[in-house]
Structure 1
Amino acid sequence: MAIISLTTDWQHRDYYLGALKGRLLSICPGAQLVDLSHNVGNYNISQTSFIIKNAFVHFPKGSIHIIGVKSEETPEHPHVVVKYQDHYFIGADNGIFSLIMKGDPEEIVRIENIEKEDHFHTFPELNVFAKAASHIIKYNNLTELGSTQKELYRLVPIRALIQKGTITGQIIYIDSYGNVTTNISKELFESVRQEREFEILVQSNHYRISKINQNYHETSEGDFLALFNSSGLLEIAINKGNLAELLQLDINSDIRIKLHDY
C-alpha cells in the first residue's frame, strides 16, 4: 500500500485539501493519505521544513511526501521530485528541501513530462504533484518524469551564535501548546557549557531558568521550564501554560544562555 503524506498552509474552510485528496484517491487507488499538518503559516517554508524533517523519518521507506507550501513554480524554482533516504518528496525547489535534508539526496528530477490541465495551472498540487505521486507508485522510478538535476536550491538555516560566556539562539518553532523550540541543540549546549552553571534568559533578563528538565512534570504548574525535546533541541515552556502567548514570543525571537565561569 502506497503512503502519501500531505503538508500545506491551507485553511480547512477551503476546498483545496478535499480536492487534492479526491484526485489522489482517484489516480492512486488504495493509497493511504496522511495529514502531517495544514496549519502552517502562509508561505512559511522554515516551519514546514521543521515539521516534515521531524515526521518523515517515522514513515516507512518508499513513502511519498507532497509539500503544498509556497508551491508555485518559477524559472528559478522548478517543480521537482527528490529521493532522500528512500523517501520521495514532491514540491517546488525553493530551498525547503535543503532545510529538510542533512546530506545529499539520492536523486533529483525536474517534473517536466506531466500532462498539465490549463484550468488548474494555479493549483500545482492537483495539476502536477498528484500525478507525479501516481507515476512513482505505478513505475517506481523517476527517470520518465523529466531531466535530472544535480543540486538543490539551498537556504542556510539560522545558527545559534556562540560568544564568550553566551549562547544566543532563536525560536524556530512554536507548537500548539505555546512551547517554543530553539535552534540550540543538546550537542551544542553541552560542548559549549562544559559542565558550567548556566541561566537561560527569556525576554532579556526578566525570566531565568537554571536547570534542564527531563520531563514537564518536574516543574510546578505555571512555572517556566527548559528541556531538550524529541528533536534534540532546546525547548522553553510553561508547565500547563502557554509561554509564547504570555510573553508574546514569535519565530526568530532570541533566547540567550549565560554561562558562569567557576
Structure 2
Amino acid sequence: MSLITLTTDFGTKDHFVGAVKGAIYSELEDAKIVDITHEITPFNITETAYILKNSYKSFPKGTIHIIGVDSELSEDNKHIALELDGHFFVCPDNGLISMIASEINPTKIVEINIHDRIESSFPVLDVFVQVACFIARGGNLTVIGREITEFKKLVEIQPKVNQAQNQIIGGVIYIDNYGNVITNISKKMFNDIGKGRAFKATARRYSFNTIFTKYNEITGKNSHKSHQFDGQKLAIFNTAGFLEIAIYRSNLDTVGGASSLLGLEYRDSVIIEFINDSKPDFSPLS
C-alpha cells in the first residue's frame, strides 16, 4: 500500500481535491491518501513550509507528499521531486522546501521533465499525481527528471542574527487556528545565540522577558484560579520548537487571539535582544 499526503491551498468547496484523489486512485487502487490540509492561505509559501516541516515526520518513511501551493509552471517556478529524510516530496521549486531542508539535506533532487508530454493548467492533477504514483511503484527519480543539486531558498523563512547588537531578528510566519502567532525563531537558535543570557522579546509595542514551555505555566502557583489568567498574553516555545506569542485560553469568538488582540500579522517583525552577564527567566509567574 502506498501512502500519499496532500497539502494544498485549494480549499474544499471546489472540485480540485476530489479530482486529484480520483486521479491517484485511478493509478493506484490500493493507495492510502491523507489530507494534511487544503486550507493554506492562497499562495502562502511560508505557511506551507511551516505546516509541512511539522507534519511530515509523523508519517512513516517512504511516504510521498504532494504539495500544491503556487504550483503553476514557469521559468521561475520549476517543478521538482526530491527524497529527503526518507520521504519523497513532489512540489514546485518556489522556496517552500527551504524550511524542511534547513537542517537535513535532500538525498536526491530532480527537475521534473515530463511536461513535454503533458499540456496542463492543473499540474498537481496532471503532473504531480503521475510523478507520485511512479515513485510509489518503486520508480527512480532520475527517470522523471534531470538531477540537480540546488533548490530555491526562501530568505524570509530564516531569521537574521545581529551579533554586534546581540539580537535575533525574526518575523511572523504563521497564524494558527487559535489566533496564536508563530515566528521563525527556533528554540535551538535562541539557546545557541542567547547562551543563557536574559532577554527581551519585542513584537510591535509588546515585550516579553519570560518564555514558557507550557501554556498553563502562566498561572504559576495559582492553577486553581486559572480562569483569572484568561486573555493574558504569553510567549512560549511551541511543540514544533518555535517561538510563539499566544493568548492564554484564547477564544476567537469572545476573548480573541494574539493576532487580533496584539495586532500581529504575517511578516511582522519579532526581535529578541539579549542582555549580557545575566540569566534568563524561565520560571512561571507567581
Same fold (TM over 0.5): yes
**Partner Cα distance (1:91, 1:127) in 2:** 13
Deviation at 1:215, TM superposition (A): 0.9
**Partner Cα distance (2:99, 2:275) in 1:** 33
One-letter amino acid of the structure 2 residue matched with residue 29 of structure 1: E
1:174 matches 2:175:
yes
Deviation at 1:116, TM superposition (A): 4.8
1:61 matches 2:61:
yes
**Partner Cα distance (1:257, 1:16) in 2:** 42
Q: Residue in 2 aligned with 1:80? A: 80
Q: What is the CA deviation profile of residues 109-161 of structure 1, one whole-angstrom value per residue up to 9, with x for unaligned ones?
A: 2322368554xx11101111111111111234223213222322333333134
Deviation at 1:192, TM superposition (A): 3.6
Q: Residue in 2 aligned with 1:110? A: 111
Corresponding residue SS for 2:182: strand
**Partner Cα distance (2:183, 2:264) in 1:** 12
Q: Residue in 2 aligned with 1:16? A: 16
Structural mapping, 1:144-223, within 5 Å: 144-156=143-155, 157-162=157-162, 163-204=164-205, 207-219=206-218, 220-223=229-232
Aligned 8 A contact 2:84 2:107 in 1: yes
Aligned 8 A contact 1:159 1:169 in 2: yes
TM-score between both structures, scaled by the size of structure 2: 0.82
**Partner Cα distance (2:21, 2:118) in 1:** 17
**Partner Cα distance (2:261, 2:249) in 1:** 12
Aligned 8 A contact 1:209 1:224 in 2: no
Change (3 A) 1:199 1:97: closer
**Partner Cα distance (1:194, 1:108) in 2:** 36
Q: What 5-or-longer segments of structure 2 have no aligned partner?
A: 219-228, 251-256, 279-286
One-letter amino acid of the structure 1 residue matched with residue 238 of structure 2: N
Deviation at 1:165, TM superposition (A): 4.9
Identity of aligned residues (%): 38
Deviation at 1:194, TM superposition (A): 3.8
Q: Residue in 1 aligned with 2:141? A: 142
**Cα-Cα RMSD:** 2.1
Change (3 A) 1:82 1:221: same
Q: What is the CA deviation profile of residues 40-80 of structure 1, one whole-angstrom value per residue up to 9, with x for unaligned ones?
A: 11111111111111111111111000010011111333222
Aligned 8 A contact 2:181 2:245 in 1: yes
Structural mapping, 1:29-48, within 5 Å: 29-48=29-48
Q: Residue in 2 aligned with 1:247? A: 262
Aligned 8 A contact 2:118 2:127 in 1: no
**Partner Cα distance (1:183, 1:153) in 2:** 18
Corresponding residue SS for 2:77: coil
TM-score between both structures, scaled by the size of structure 1: 0.89
**Partner Cα distance (2:55, 2:22) in 1:** 24
Q: What 5-or-longer segments of structure 1 have no aligned partner?
A: none
Change (3 A) 1:212 1:130: same
Aligned 8 A contact 1:116 1:127 in 2: no
Aligned 8 A contact 2:173 2:267 in 1: yes
Q: What is the CA deviation profile of residues 181-212 of structure 1, one whole-angstrom value per residue up to 9, with x for unaligned ones?
A: 112222332344343333333322xx333322
Change (3 A) 1:81 1:257: closer
